[in-house]
């Protein structure tokens, strides 16, 4: 059964390139990004993992831990990481789950039989510190993921969790945001948004990003 937004992300224990990992323990009180790869030694995945490693500081400053997954065994992962480090000029600094028995893949519905009977699709799950699923994305095997978009969504989630706002189309950190329609009391609006706001329509009120 597919995971939906707001569902509790299933815990699991599995071997990885950094030893045995229990998902919840690995995350602790951090946000998490769990993303799957069709197989080791594949070209698109090699670029994805390399780019993710280069974004280590960006994930860290957002309190996000990254965890990749492939259905190949640990020995294969170890050899592949050497290729990734060499060809992408980086160092893979996060675990790659060795899901040879497909336990995690099935738990997270990462195998779509009509696409492939054995390989995982490019699934992405963003999980918050309460272990709730906050984002799901599924890419076809031939298309590399946009990791800058993942960072953008995490910025939006973390902002909107703490302020009564939503983020508009193509929003990026630092840009104006939208006050949620349910907030109507003028005194509350004044308190929450001291920079003021522009009322385009009664349901569309734009304000500077509150934490900037």
Q: Which long-range contacts (CB under 8 A, 24 or more apart) does 148-153 make?
A: 150/33, 150/124, 150/126, 151/55, 151/58, 151/59, 151/62, 153/126
Could you tell me which CATH number the domain at 13-145 has?
A: 3.40.30.10
pLDDT digits over 32-69, tens only? 999 998 889 999 999 999 999 999 999 999 999 999 99
pLDDT digits over 137-158, tens only? 988 888 899 999 999 999 999 9
What is the separation, in whole angstroms, between the first and last Cα of the chain?
A: 40
pLDDT digits over 62-116, tens only? 999 999 999 899 999 999 999 999 999 999 999 999 998 889 988 998 865 444 5
Question: Which residues are part of the catalytic machinery?
Answer: 45
Dihedral sign for Cα 49, 55, 57, 63, please: negative
Number of H helices and E strands in the chain, helices first, is: 7, 11
- From edge to edge, which strands make up the β-sheet containing 122-127? 96-98, 64-70, 31-37, 122-127, 133-139
What are the domain boundaries of the chain?
13-145, 163-207
> How far is it, in rounded angstroms, from Cα 131 to Cα 188?
31
49, 68 Cβ separation under 8 angstroms: yes
Least confident of 32-36, 98-102, 176-180, 201-205: 98-102
Residue 147 structure tokens: 């990791």
Containing H/E element for 201?
A: strand 198-201
> How far is it, in rounded angstroms, from Cα 96 to Cα 68?
5
pLDDT for 197? 96
Reading phi first (left if > 0) and then psi (alpha if -120 to 50, else beta), residue 19 is in: left
Task: Using a pLDDT cut of 90, give the percent of the chain over it.
Answer: 82
């Amino acid at each position: 059964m597919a995971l939906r937004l707001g569902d509790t992300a299933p815990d699991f224990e599995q071997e990885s390139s950094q030893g045995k990992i229990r998902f919840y323990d690995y995350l602790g009180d951090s946000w998490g990004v769990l993303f799957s790869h069709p197989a080791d030694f594949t070209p698109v995945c090699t670029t994805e993992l390399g780019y993710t490693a280069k974004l280590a500081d960006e994930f860290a400053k957002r309190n996000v831990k990254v965890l990749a997954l492939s259905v190949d065994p640990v020995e294969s992962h170890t050899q592949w990481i050497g290729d990734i480090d060499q060809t992408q000029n980086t160092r893979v600094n996060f675990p790659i789950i060795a899901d040879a028995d497909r336990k995690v893949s099935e738990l997270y519905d990462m195998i779509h039989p009509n696409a492939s009977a054995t390989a995982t699709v490019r699934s992405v799950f963003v999980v918050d510190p309460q272990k709730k699923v906050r984002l799901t994305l599924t890419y076809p095997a031939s298309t590399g993921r946009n990791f800058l978009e993942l960072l953008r969504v995490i910025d939006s989630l973390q902002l909107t969790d703490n302020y009564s706002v939503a983020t508009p189309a193509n929003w990026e950190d630092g840009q104006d945001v939208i006050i949620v329609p349910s907030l109507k009391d003028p005194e509350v609006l004044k308190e929450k948004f001291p920079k003021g706001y522009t009322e385009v329509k009664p349901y569309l009120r734009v304000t500077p990003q509150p934490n900037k």
